[in-house]
Amino acid sequence: MLNLINLTFHYRKKPALFKDFSLNVQQGSIVGLLGKNGAGKTTLLNLLAGLMPPQSGDILLNGYVPFERHPSFLADVYLVTEEFEFPQVTIETYVKAYSPLYPSFDVIKLAGILQEFELDTTSKLNQLSHGQRKKFLIAFALSSNCAVLLLDEPTNGLDIPSKSQFRKVLVSSVTDDQLVIISTHQVKDVDTILDKLVVIDNGVLLLEETIENLNQRYYFDTVTKLQGMDPILYHEPCSMGYKIIKPVDDGHESPLDMELFFNAVINHALNQD
């Protein structure tokens, strides 16, 4: 579904952001693209959406080279950008005008999601709050039924109830034929819905792994003291003592603490195991 082969990209007069970057992801998964601010997440999503070309290397997404911007490619990929602007029209008018661009657009699905998000189709888009506009954009993207959904920091600007509505709607909407890539630096917002993690830092791929595999390898716990807990792969202080990551022992699994895990990956703490 997505093949990135030896991708190299730099902005004008800037050093390479991605250098010989390769990644393969299959459909049927919700992928978390994680990285600190400035890691290159937005840039990567823009490259995947065909908004700019890499300097070298190949990108193949859903069978197409994105920057060739083939109409069939554009009709099957939806990028929810972090910044967006809408014309001064109602939701209803917007949907009438833009949904025909997406052949698989499902108006019934849209009505259900808008109801879940408590959005009224007669509302003028420019009179909605930033969070409400973002929810509309997410609803539109999901209803497009595009094979590829690229969501750039989708939970930024959403309040706490909206974040859980987002997770619920996304999980119930996505099918096995789709690939969803969600970029975020707010790991906790999406930790329960991901199938796979991709962590990047300064344009380098630090980790690419399914959540299932991570659960089989790493054990997460909170302990009052570190003494006698070896082997500890990574630890952080917390109010109860320490949050720790250990290798899984005797097949006992624990809920994955994605924020702790992300910090461990970014700090290169898991490289040796």
Q: Which residues bind ligand ADP (CB under 6 A)?
A: 11, 14, 17, 35, 37-43
3-state secondary structure the chain: CEEEEEEEECCCCCCCCEEEEEEEECCCEEEEEECCCCCCHHHHHHHHCCCCCCCEEEEEECCECHHHCCHHHHCCEEEECCCCCCCCCEHHHHHHHHHHHCCCCCHHHHHHHHHHCCCCCCCEHHHCCHHHHHHHHHHHHHHCCCCEEEEECCCCCCCHHHHHHHHHHHHHHCCCCCEEEEEECCHHHCCCCCCEEEEEECCEEEEEEEHHHHHHHEEEEEECCCCCCCCCCEEEEECCEEEEEEECCCCCCCCCCHHHHHHHHHCCCCCCC
Tell me how far, at minimum, the Cβ of 66 lies from ligand ADP, in Å. 16
Nearest CB to ligand ADP, comparing residues 10 and 217? 10
Minimum gap (Å) between residue 201 Cβ and ligand ADP: 9
Min separation Cβ 118 and ligand ADP, Å: 29
d(CA 1, CA 17): 23
* Closer by beta carbon to ligand ADP, 93 or else 156: 156
Nearest distance in Å: CB 220, ligand ADP: 25
| Smallest gap from residue 13 Cβ to ligand ADP (A) | 8
In the complex, the smallest distance separating the C-beta of residue 9 from ligand ADP, rounded to whole angstroms, is: 9
Residue type, 218: Y
Q: Among residues 17 and 150, whose Cβ is nearest to ligand ADP?
A: 17
Closer residue to ligand ADP (CB): 30 or 45: 45
Q: Which is nearer to ligand ADP, 169 or 190 (CB)?
A: 190
Pick the closer one to ligand ADP by CB: 153 or 191. Answer: 153
How would you class 77 by CB atoms within 10 Å of its CB: exposed for 0-12, middle for 13-18, buried for 19 or more?
Answer: buried
At closest approach, how far in Å is the CB of 83 from ligand ADP? 11
- Among 225, 206, 201, which residue's Cα sits nearest to residue 270? 206
Distance of closest approach, residue 68 Cβ to ligand ADP, in angstroms:
21
- Of 33 and 119, which has the nearer Cβ to ligand ADP? 33
CB nearer ligand ADP, residue 46 or residue 99: 46
**How far out from the chain centre does Cα 207 lie?**
14
